[in-house]
Structure formats: C-alpha cells, structure tokens
Amino acid sequence: MHVHVKNGDGKAKINIETAEVIENSGIKPADLKKAVDAVKQYKDDMIQAWKQYFDED
C-alpha cells in the first residue's frame, strides 16, 4: 500500500503502513519530510480510502 507524492521538484512514493520512502526523484528533504509526516498523520484515512478504491474489505 503506497501513495504517490508530486511537487514542482519531483516525485516520490511512500509506503502508507510504514511511512517509509520507497522512491524519491528530486523532492527536497524538507518537502519529503512534510509528506512523510502527512502520511503518518492520515495513515488510517489513507488505508481506508485505499481499501475502498481497490474494493478490499
């Protein structure tokens, strides 16, 4: 389970369950930290949305 993050500098992929950065192509460390912090904060909501989107229970 992962989320894609994109800004003007690049893009990244972050594991929702562990908040681990899987890939990063150009996002600056400060911006990447903000994205990781958001994943941690909204983890439960993201997991629920993922399951609804992919029709998993």
DSSP-derived letter for residue 9 is S
The confidence score (pLDDT) of residue 57 equals: 66
Question: Quick one: residue 2, left, alpha or beta (phi over 0 = left, psi -120 to 50 = alpha)?
Answer: beta
pLDDT tens column, 2-54: 999 999 999 999 999 999 999 999 999 999 999 999 999 999 999 999 999 98
Q: Which helix (H) or strand (E) holds 54?
A: none
Q: Which residue has the tokens 């993201």?
A: 46
The confidence score (pLDDT) of residue 55 equals: 84
Q: Which residue has the tokens 């949305």?
A: 49
Rounded to two decimals, the pTM is 0.89
The confidence score (pLDDT) of residue 56 equals: 76
DSSP-derived letter for residue 1 is -
